[in-house]
């Protein structure tokens, strides 16, 4: 049977992708950000997954106001890198895993979650920046990736509680797949940031650190936070953090078993307009 080996959490700030693509990672401003991912790139090489299930949000690139899926699973064999206005990032295309994606869609939909099945989708910085941060600048990404897009852009967006429950359903789906694949689940976006309106530039370090503490130690209670708390405390784009609860909900201890090992934790302000947070949790045993 397939199993989830670890969950990875990281911000997806688009300027990080631009810094990598334009060779600016050694500038002091960016060095501070990238220093938090050196361990992670080493860890990825030491613990290569067979598949990454990557939870992220599209930023009006693949979708628009015409169609707004709450949860969309990418079932294609490959996904092109989106042109977000200045040409696609010079990174490899994303190879999917249609068989596992179709199995997860089947299992999760039968388990009462309504997913949109997407057979063609370009992937934007929400997905490619986390891959760059953890995998560097390879000719090809190290393994297939199943893109899982969550609407956190246009209200109504899903609750943290729903996301946490969905993570549990994804774990049940993975564990009922016959091939013994090692699957990582990534939750991306966040941390506190607001890109618009009078509060643009908002960062809340204390709230972010507490979110990380609670994500590790008491995720079920954290999942009860209402939207308004994210928006008030972490800014309008801080709502991206509900996606971290999908990844956390897929970890063993939520159902049974020992708490995950915290193998890496990093927090830094600023990167562009955003507080950068990053965690790696490994399932015990």
Of the ranges 7-15, 29-37, 67-75, 88-96, which one interacts with ligand DHB (CB under 6 A)?
Answer: 7-15
Nearer to ligand DHB, 85 or 285 (CB): 85
Among 8, 13, 133, 183, binds ligand DHB (CB under 6 A): 13
Nearer to ligand DHB, 166 or 234 (CB): 234
Number of residues binding to ligand DHB, judged by CB under 6 A: 11
Long-range pairs of 43-46 with CB within 8 A, sequence gap ≥ 24 = 43/263, 43/264, 43/280, 44/134, 44/135, 44/142
Alpha helix positions (H), the chain: 14-21, 28-35, 38-46, 98-110, 125-135, 160-175, 205-217, 219-222, 227-234, 242-249
Closest of 113, 167, 111 to residue 283, by C-alpha: 167
Interface mask toward ligand DHB for 171-200; x: CB under 6 A? ----------------------x-x-----
Separation of alpha carbons 17 and 25, rounded Å = 10
Q: Please, are residues 69 and 116 in contact by the beta-carbon 8 Å criterion?
A: yes
Of the ranges 26-34, 40-48, 113-121, 269-277, which one interacts with ligand DHB (CB under 6 A)?
Answer: 269-277
Least CB distance from residue 19 to ligand DHB, whole Å? 12
Catalytically active residues are 125, 193
Least CB distance from residue 195 to ligand DHB, whole Å? 6
Q: Please, are residues 17 and 197 in contact by the beta-carbon 8 Å criterion?
A: no
Q: How far is CA 175 from CA 73, 166, 182, in A?
A: 18, 14, 10
Among 143, 273, 277, 282, binds ligand DHB (CB under 6 A): 273
Interface mask toward ligand DHB for 205-244; x: CB under 6 A? --------------------------------x-------
277 near ligand DHB (CB under 6 A): no
Residues numbered 29 to 88 that lie near ligand DHB (CB under 6 A) are: 59
Q: Cα 192 vs. chain centroid, distance in angstroms?
A: 15
């Amino acid at each position: 049977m397939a199993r989830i080996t670890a969950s990875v959490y990281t911000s997806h700030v688009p300027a990080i992708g631009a810094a990598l693509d334009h060779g600016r990672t050694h500038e002091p401003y960016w060095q501070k950000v990238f220093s938090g991912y050196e361990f992670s790139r080493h860890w990825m090489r030491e613990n290569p997954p067979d598949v990454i299930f990557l939870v992220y949000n599209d930023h009006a690139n693949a979708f628009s106001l015409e169609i707004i899926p709450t949860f969309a699973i990418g079932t294609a064999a490959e996904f092109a890198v989106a042109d977000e206005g200045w040409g696609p990032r010079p990174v490899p295309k994303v190879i999917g895993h249609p068989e596992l994606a179709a199995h997860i869609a089947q299992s999760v939909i039968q388990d009462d979650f309504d997913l949109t099945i997407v057979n063609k989708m370009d992937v934007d910085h929400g997905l490619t920046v986390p891959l760059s941060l953890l995998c560097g600048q390879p000719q090809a990404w190290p393994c297939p990736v199943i893109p899982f897009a969550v609407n956190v852009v246009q209200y109504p967006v899903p609750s943290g509680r729903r996301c946490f429950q969905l993570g549990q359903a994804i774990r049940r789906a993975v564990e009922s797949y016959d091939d013994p694949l090692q699957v990582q689940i990534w939750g991306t976006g966040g941390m506190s940031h607001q890109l618009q309106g009078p509060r643009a530039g908002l960062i809340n370090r204390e709230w972010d650190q507490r979110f990380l503490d609670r994500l590790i130690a008491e995720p079920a209670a954290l999942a009860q936070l209402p939207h308004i708390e994210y928006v008030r405390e972490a800014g309008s784009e801080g709502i991206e953090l509900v996606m971290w609860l999908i990844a956390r909900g897929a970890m063993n201890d939520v159902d049974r078993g020992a708490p995950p090992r915290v193998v890496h934790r990093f927090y830094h302000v600023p990167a562009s307009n955003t507080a950068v947070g990053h965690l790696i949790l490994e399932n015990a045993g």
